[in-house]
Each structure stands twice: as structure tokens, then as C-alpha cells.
Amino acid sequence: MTANNTIGQGKGSKRTWLLAMGALAVGMTASLSALAANVLQDVRYASAPGGKVDITLQFAEPVGDVQAFTTDTPPRIAVDLPETTNGLSQRRVVIGSGATSAVSAVEAGGRTRVVVDLFRPAGYTTRSSGNLLVLTVDAGAVQSNASNTMANPSDPTKRVASAIEVANIDFRRGENGSGRVILRFNGDGAAADMRNEGSKVVVDVANASIPESLRRRLDVTDFATPVQSLEPNTNAGSTRLVINTNGAYDSMAYQTGNEYVIEITPKRAAVIASAPSARAAGAVAGAAPSQGYTGRAVTFNFQDVPVRTVLQLIAEESNLNVVASDTVQGNVTLRLINVPWDQAMEIVLRAKQLDKRRDGNVIWVAPQKEIAEFEKAKADARIANEDREELVTEYIAINYGNAEEIAKLLTENSKNSGGAGGAGGAVQNKGFLSPRGSVSFDNRTNTLLLIDIPKKIQEVRTLLATLDRPVDQVLIEARIVVASETFARELGVIFGIQDRVGTLEDAAAVGETTTDSGFLVGLPATTPAGLLNLSILRSDIALDLELSALEEEGRGEVVSNPRVITANQREAIIRQGDEVGYLTIQPATTAGAVATATVEFKEVLLELKVTPTITQDGRVYLNLMVKKDEVSELIENPAGGFVPQIARREVSTAVLIDNGQTVVVGGVYEFSSREDLRKVPFLGDLPVLGNLFRNKNKSSDKAELLIFVTPRILQVSKKG
């Protein structure tokens, strides 16, 4: 029984719910009817004289205000019908007459948009009568901004021109060397039209006049842009501005409020972007996208169109989803020719003080202040969450680095100039840590003690995975070579006449003595190579002639080969040598005092000092000093003993070397030459025979210091 009652109550509740939903549906229908007060019922077309096409839109109620605009790439005419629903049975009506291809209608958000697809750009006019709106499309004549204006419903055949005057003409240099011409008017609604004529850009403003004070030629060559000069003038009561250019260029124009801006940009080689959004195949031929923009080139021609409508059209061209904030309002007049769609969006946003944020294929558009406040609130919320998050403790062992140095890196070394923190409630800059985080270290176990929120601890672990790794080492090998070469030539003569009374052995003995009184000439070599005796006139009188020659050639080299291994960016020093002692005598300074002898020492070292740095491309930058000392001689000290004279050879330099390459980092070349001549006066100057009366001595010494350096990287892999 209870179950039956429950079921009955359920059926009654269901009927009540259905009645409520029905009432709600009726209410929603009434609301939608109130929101969409008109209905597009029919679309028909007919050919008109001159290749024109009349497109008639039939509505359920009289036509109110409508908005129309055109695009050149692709050529289209769009008519927005606010508070209108789409009652057509078919979405697209094919026409195929004159410049008109087809007509389609789409409903969204309580309004309907009628789009006329064109075979080629064409002008149009609109007129309304009761519940009919007639759109007349031209046969394909050049479109004029003046004709793309909604006719006054009260007078569909006339357009009232406003009294607009050019207030100022300004020129500026833009980004990437572009020239920017700004036409300022004394009011809104200027109907400007721009076209390219060879090296000139012509701008006609049909409904604006220009005062005499502004009709002067402006030379802007010094700005280093494609624009050379500006020539403003009148043209049948309207205003014409001729922009003279030099070189290849791209032109575009846009209008916001009372300003009409023309940008002339140097043309660069077109770049086909690899991004999927850059559909270069559909770009207009010869149009080079501006630097930094990759969107497909489009042409827009808007006259006082809502910004939200422009954003919707850009979304269709870019195949992206554009979400506009409710605070995005206002209208814009825009004429862009062969401009990437993403640049067109930037221009619209800049003109209306808007900004955007992109997430995947969705773009959010809102006023700059609103986005800034949103991001600030988001950052504040993140900080607030971090302040409430629970702290955790982690112990991180350091393998290759120094725990104390890493702790300083995480805190002190990462602070900015104003982040020292302190009392007074100021937020303390903790480097890589959160404001509540802390870090300490244990030198004995080389461990970091970290207290912070989990997010920050994970960031520190990621950082340590990069920093705490083995450092490559470098083997530096130096070779110090001292090469010497000496050459000496000595030529002498002993010439004499004496009685030969002795034996042959006696004569030989006499010849070995350089001071024998029997010789008339004695200029012998110090080490004679041989002895020759001749006897002339009689047997007891001998003419002795001695010729000697000596040629000595000597070569020598000293090689030192210091080696050292060090870690990357760590200085290494290796030295070998002696300390040479010598006496110094301090004389007595007072009467009766004794002079003092002191033993002092001088270092005679072979030393290599080097700091290597391994570059990212596998080379080695060396900051090195090489020194080799030698005791050249001992100088007698008048006070007693000897003082060593030390020959120093040293080079200090910095050099970048490939791994394993050997280079000469220094060299010193010394050369000395000496020639001595001893002769008998007068006789030594005789031709030919004079050689018997003179002694020559030639000597030359050469010494060269060469220092070779070879670095080799010893890579250390981390064990895992």
C-alpha cells in the first residue's frame, strides 16, 4: 500500500514537472520572440542592367538598422541583421550571375548574417522599403568606400556627406624600417581610399577637405624608409595624398576614430612558415608577410563595423576560436591590403586598447586592464595558496658539488639587488625558495637540509639534476724547447826560418811551441789540425810554414715536459727546481764592528700554472703561465763568494684550443755574430801573401725558445 502511494506521488510529481517545463518553454519562446523581433523569410535575386544583380531579402517585419561590410580576400559582402532569426529553408542560394556567386545566411546569438560570395571584388548599394531589403551588387567595378555605406532609410538614393577637414599630416618611422603616415581629421567618418600606382601610393578622401596650410610637399628621405616624400593636395573638392616611394614595398592602411594610418614597409623575400596556421598556399601572390607574423595574407575593408564582428571574421580566416569579453565594445573602420591575419588582429586590438591571451586554438580577447587585473588576481591566488600549503622537509645528498656552495646559490646568490629581506613585514626574497622556505647544509655528509612546499622542493631537485654532476677534467701538457746553434771558424799561421840543426823530432817539437824564437811570424790556431815543415836554400836552413784550420759546429736543445690534470675552471700549478744559495756581506757600520755574512737563496724553477675552461662546443680556453729558469753563470762577489745570474724564460697568455690540438703559444729568437782579425802590420795587408800574416776568427750563436701546449679533455661520466 505504501509503495502504491509512492508511485502515485511520483506520477503526480512528474505531471507537475512537465507542466512547469512547458510553462518555462512558453516563457523562453516568448523571450526569444521578444529578443529576435524579426524573421528572415525569403531570399530571391534578379539580374539588372549593366551586369548588376539585385538580391531581395524579405522579412516578417519592417527592416530596422543593419550593418554591412566587405572583404577583398576572399571577395565577400556581409550584412548583419540584429534581433533577427533565420527562417530560410536552405542555407545557401546559388546565383552565378555577374560578380555574384551565391548567398548564404547563418544565425547566431539572436542575429543573422547574410554573406554574399563574389567572383571578384565589386561595389554595392542597399535600400530598404517596408519589410524588404534590396542589395544591388555591381558587375565588378573597382569598389569605392563611398559606395559601401548603408543608405539612409528615409532617403535610399542619397548619402549625406559630413563636413570633415584634414587637421594634420604626420610621418613617423615604424618598426623594421617602415614609414608610417598619419592623417588626422577634425571628426569621425572620413571615407578614405588607398591604391598603389607603381612607385606611388595614392590616398583619396572623398568627403574631406584640406586647408591651404597643409598643402605643402614634405621631404622625409632622412628617416631611411621606403617613403621619400608626401604631396598633399586637393582633388575636385576632396583631399588627395600622394606618397612617393623608393624600392619594393608593401602597403596597408587602417582607420580608427579620426585617424587614418598608412604603413609602407620594405618588401622582403616571402617566407613560407612551417606552422600549420600559416597557410601560405592561399596567400596573395607577391605579398610578403611582415616580420614576426605567419598568418595567411588577407584584405579587410570595414566601415564603422563593431569590433566583435571584426574579431568573428578574423576567427573564420584563422580557423581559431575567438572568445571576446563582454566588455569588448565599439566600432572600427579598417582597410588592410595583403596583411597577415594575425597582424590584422594586432592592429584591431591596439586600436581599441585590447589585448589577447592564447591557449591552444582558443584566443581570449579583452581590454588590457581587464587582462592585467585577471593575471594579477591569478598570481595573488597562487601566492595565497602557497602561503597556506603545508611545509615538508627533504634531505638531499650532494654527490659532486659542495653542499655549502649550493645552499648559497639557492638563496644569497640568486637574490636581486633589492631582495635582501628584513624586518618590518616586507616580503623576503628567498631565491629559488618560497618566502617560507629555508635551506641549511651538513658539511660532514655533504647534504642539503631543505624545508619548503612540495612544488619548490621539486623545482630544487630539478635544478640539482643539472648542477650536481661530475665535472670534466683537462690534461694540459707543455713542452719547453731551448734550441741553440753555434758556429766558429778559426784560421791561423806560423811562419819562420831557422837553422835545421836538430833531428826531425826536434823540428817537430819546435813546431808545437808557439813561442819559439826561431819563428818570424807566430799567429797560430789554438788547436792546430796539422804541421808542415819545408826546407829551402840549404839543408841546415829551413823555411817552416804552418797552416792550421779549425771548424767547429755545435747544436743543442733542452726539452722540459711538465704535465698537470685539473678539473674544469680550476687552477692547477706544477713546479720543479732548486733554490741556489749565495753569500751577501753586510759591511760594518761602526768602528770595531765585524762585517756580517748572510746566506740568501734564489729560486730556479720550471713552472706551469694553468686554468682551463671547457666551452660548449668541446674546445678548451686556457689561461696559462709557463716559466723556465736556468743559472747562466756565477758572478764573483767582491765581498766574497759568488752570486748566481739566472736566465729567465717565461710566457703568460690566454688561448682557445681545440681538444687534442698542439699550438705554439710563445717563442723568443736570439742571434749573435762576431768576427775577429789579428795580423802583422803591413804584411797582413798584402794581396794573397797577406793571408800568411793574419789570423781570422768568426763565431755566431743562435738560440730559440719555443713553448708548445696540448690540452686533452678527460670526460667523466656519471655512474647510474
Q: How confident is the model at residue 374 (pLDDT cuts 50, 70, 90)?
A: very high
Give the residue carrying C-alpha cell 747544436.
Answer: 555
Choice between 55 and 543, residue whose per-residue pLDDT is larger: 55
Mean pLDDT of 619-637: 86
Provide the pLDDT confidence category of residue 523 given band limits of 50, 70 and 90.
Answer: low
Q: Quick one: 114 exposed, middle or buried, by C-beta within 10 A (0-12, 13-18, 19+)?
A: buried
Q: Poorest-confidence range of 164-178, 374-388, 397-411, 425-439? A: 425-439
3-state secondary structure of 676: strand
Give pTM, 2 decimals. 0.42
3-state secondary structure of 21: helix
Most confident of 316-330, 422-436, 517-531, 534-548: 316-330
- For residues 215 and 535, the model is more confident at 215
132-151 pLDDT, tens digit per residue, is 898 998 887 433 333 333 33
Burial of 139 (0-12, 13-18, 19+ CB in 10 A): middle
Q: Residue 414 has what pLDDT?
A: 59
pLDDT at residue 154 tops 80: no
Q: Alpha-carbon distance 208 to 190, whole Å?
A: 7
At residue 413, the pLDDT reads 62
Question: What cell does 254 get?
Answer: 587602417
pLDDT value of residue 206: 83
**Which pLDDT score is estimated for 337?**
67
What's the confidence (pLDDT) of residue 522?
55
The average pLDDT across 687-709 equals 79
User: Considering only 117-121, 426-430, 629-633, 700-704, which range has the smallest mean pLDDT?
Assistant: 426-430
Q: Average the pLDDT over each of 495-504, 596-605, 684-693, 711-720 and give the range with the smallest value.
A: 495-504
Residue with the bigger pLDDT between 143 and 250: it is: 250
pLDDT band, very low/low/confident/very high, at 496 (cuts 50, 70, 90): low
Joined together, the cell numbers standing for residue 485 give 746553434
Taking all residues of the chain, what is their mean pLDDT, rounded to a whole number?
Answer: 75
Share of the chain above pLDDT 70, in %: 74
What's the pLDDT score for residue 252? 80
Mean pLDDT (whole number) for 305-309 = 83
Q: Is residue 639's pLDDT more than 70?
A: no
Contacts of 64 (CB under 8 A, 6+ apart): 38, 82, 83
pLDDT tens sequence across 180-199: 999 999 987 787 888 888 89
Give the pLDDT confidence score for residue 717 in this predicted structure.
64
User: Is residue 678 very low, low, confident or very high in pLDDT (cuts 50, 70, 90)?
Assistant: confident
Residue 129 clears pLDDT 60, i.e. is over it: yes
Q: Hey, which residues does 672 pair with through a beta bridge? A: 701
pLDDT for 24: 43
Among 170-184, 277-291, 563-577, 653-667, the minimum mean pLDDT is found in 277-291
Residue 525's pLDDT band (cuts 50, 70, 90): low
| pLDDT (mean) for 148-176 | 62
Q: Please give the average per-residue pLDDT across 422-432, as a whole number.
A: 52
Give the least confident one: 119-133, 510-524, 586-600: 510-524
- How far apart are alpha carbons 603 and 624 in whole angstroms? 20
The pLDDT tens digits for 311-339 are 888 888 888 899 999 999 888 777 776 77
Q: Is the pLDDT of residue 291 over 70?
A: no
* Residue 158, pLDDT above cutoff 60: no
Measured CA to CA, the distance from residue 345 to residue 446 in angstroms comes to: 56
Residue 519 confidence (pLDDT) above 90: no
Q: How many Å apart are CA 533 and CA 543, to the nearest integer?
A: 7
pLDDT above 90 coverage of the chain, percent: 19
Q: Which of 245-249, 490-494, 622-626 is the least confident region?
A: 490-494
Give the whole-angstrom CA distance, residue 617 versus residue 613: 11
* pLDDT greater at residue 305 or residue 357: 357
- pLDDT for residue 290: 44
Q: Is the peptide bond before 74 cis (omega within 30 degrees of 0)?
A: yes
71-112 per-position pLDDT tens digit: 877 788 988 888 889 888 888 887 877 788 889 998 887 888
CA 367 vs. chain centroid, Å, equals 32
C-alpha torsion 403→406→407→413, nearest 10: 150
Question: Please, which residues have CB within 8 angstroms of residue 634's CB and are 6 or more apart in sequence?
Answer: 642, 643, 644, 645
Vertex 674: Cα angle to 673 and 678 (nearest 5): 160
Asked if residue 654 has pLDDT above 70, the reply is yes
- Report yes or no: 432 and 410 within 8 Å, Cβ to Cβ: yes
Residue 520 has a pLDDT of: 52
Least confident among 7-16, 435-444, 579-588: 7-16
